[in-house]
Amino acid sequence: MTIRPIRKAVFPVAGLGTRFLPATKAMPKEMLPVNDRPLIQHVVEEAKEAGIEEFIFITGRHKELLEEHFDEHPELQSTLKARGKDSVLKKIEDLIMPAGALFLTRQPKPLGLGHAIWCASKLVGNEPFAVILPDVLVKTAKGEGCLKQMVDVYNETGGNLIAVEDVPREEVNKYGIVSPGAIRGKAIEVKGLVEKPEPEDAPSEMSVIGRYILQPEVFDHLSAFEKGAGGEIQLTDALDKLIKTQLFNAMRFNGKTHDSGSRLGFIQANMAYGLDDPEIGARVEQLILEYADQIKGQHNVAAAE
């Protein structure tokens, strides 16, 4: 079996960011910062570590800042150099995309995640590719990023692969849930996908977290433009059809997800990444403990009254 390498990654970034309004009225939600980097940079760096060579952004209106973030900024770079801010200059230069690496295409209407992925079909062509949802950050403990872990498993198995994370049974109705089969090493056979099942109907607690390695045949199913849940073209529906005809596995990864597309998840992500920052981590921990003491004190006063 010939396993073709994963060279391309698709980033659906056309969303309106309604959960963060009014902050995202003029600024793409993917530019919201988690610690010292915007969301989009976190996931692009994850893809680079996994060996991705071509980065495909599925954009919408008012998303120009995403492209600008990865472009040269001569005035800023020369100013940093003149002021001797070499460490900051290196951070800026490291994020600049080389020529021919960044591609953008538009999703003209918000017709669903499946439709957004289909918009990349001509740029992907007839080769396997990764999909990364920027809303979901996966924080690993000083190890390999989630997509790198997936690529390592894919290079052994081929086929299609999704990353999964166990969630409490009472919360399965918030996620796409895997119906699992045989386990072979780190690869778990996927027999089916169920979108947001009720707890009593869920085939497992393994939730799909927004990292995919897919074969190009998925575009054949997406091109039918069949509408699913919410009247949108769902990626899950196309994957469920792919499962019936191709090898399809899931894998648990080393790390923890942060749903940074929600306000609470965004705050949690900032705390988690801030705690790990070598420059400010100790102070962040101190601040969290101080706030915890204040909250306990307020609760004690309230209870005494």
pLDDT digits (tens, 9 = 90+) for 23-71: 888 889 999 999 989 999 999 999 999 999 999 999 988 888 999 999 9
Helix (H) or strand (E) holding 247: none
Tell me the pTM. 0.91
Reduced DSSP (H G I as helix, E B as strand, rest coil) percent helix, strand, coil of the chain, to 5: 40, 25, 35
Q: Taking a C-beta distance cutoff of 8 angstroms, is the pair 70, 102 a contact?
A: yes
pLDDT, averaged across the chain: 91
Asked if the model's pLDDT at residue 287 lies above 80, the reply is yes
What is residue 60's predicted lDDT score, i.e. its pLDDT?
87
Give the burial string for 108-129 (b: 16+ CB within 10 Å, else e): eeebbbbbbbbbbbebbeeebb
Helix (H) or strand (E) holding 1: none
Residue with the two structure tokens 């054949």: 220
Structure-derived torsion over alpha carbons of residues 199, 200, 201, 202, reported in degrees to the nearest 10: 40
Instruction: Annotate 4-52 with DSSP letters as a single string.
Output: ----EEEEE-----GGGTTTTSSS-GGGSEETTEEHHHHHHHHHHHTT-
pLDDT digits (tens, 9 = 90+) for 170-182: 999 888 899 999 9
Asked if the model's pLDDT at residue 301 lies above 80, the reply is no
- Least confident span in 19-23, 147-151, 185-189, 231-235: 231-235
pLDDT digits (tens, 9 = 90+) for 79-124: 999 999 999 999 999 999 999 999 999 998 888 899 999 999 999 9
**How far apart (Å, rounded) are the C-alpha atoms in residues 10 and 121?**
10
CATH class of 8-261: alpha beta
Which alpha helices (DSSP H) does the chain contain, by range? Answer: 39-49, 64-69, 74-82, 86-95, 113-118, 121-124, 146-157, 218-222, 235-243, 263-275, 281-304
Q: Taking a C-beta distance cutoff of 8 angstroms, is the pair 213, 164 a contact?
A: no
- Least confident span in 102-111, 189-198, 219-228, 265-274: 219-228
The radius of gyration of the chain's CA atoms, rounded to the nearest angstrom, is: 21
Domain ranges of the chain: 8-261, 263-305
